[in-house]
Amino acid sequence: MEHIARQFGKSLDADDFESTKSLLSPDCQYYIGKETLIGPEAICHSYESNMLEGRKKLDQLVWGDSQIEPINEQQFYVHFTDYLTHKGLKYTHRCQQRVSINKKGQIEQIEHIENKEEQQKLNDFYKKVGLL
């Protein structure tokens, strides 16, 4: 199942949302903050909107190569690295999501892992460059 998690990370690294959709179960749930999105369309729309919004407001937004960390045979952490540049300042943002894969090899749950320290550093960067 690790190859499914790896494909998920790589598809998001490449903004290949059609491939991402194909990896999600029809009733996949994505927990992000207090919000829950259900289904491949809603989930991938959220990923794509986030990408478009970031690229619109920043001078440069580049995704790094995601890394996979097994939790057990059906759950994995996907570690993402984002490289942000705005007004000559650079910031590297790291976040992770936990994916759960069902017996059919489909991702049935995605949980964005809240990291208050990383979020604070991101907010500080946005303030420094005038975006917050």
pLDDT tens profile 65-100: 999 999 999 999 999 999 999 999 999 999 999 999
Output the pTM of the full model.
Answer: 0.93
Tokens standing for residue 67 = 């890394």
Task: Find, among 49, 57, 56, 48, the residue nearest to 20 by Cα.
Answer: 48
Q: Report the C-alpha gap between 63 and 2 in whole angstroms.
A: 21
Cα-to-chain-centroid distance, residue 77: 11
pLDDT band at 35 (very low <50, low <70, confident <90, very high): very high
pLDDT value at residue 112: 96
Those residues with Cβ within 8 angstroms of residue 128's Cβ, 6 or more apart along the chain or in another chain: 89
Q: Under the phi-then-psi rule, with left for phi > 0, alpha for psi from -120 to 50, and beta for the rest, what region is 15?
A: left
> What percent of the chain lies above the pLDDT cut of 70?
100
With contact defined as beta carbons under 8 Å apart, do 83 and 61 qualify?
A: yes
With contact defined as beta carbons under 8 Å apart, do 94 and 118 qualify?
A: yes
Tell me the domains of the chain and their CATH numbers: 2-128 (3.10.450.50)
pLDDT value at residue 132: 85
pLDDT value at residue 29: 98
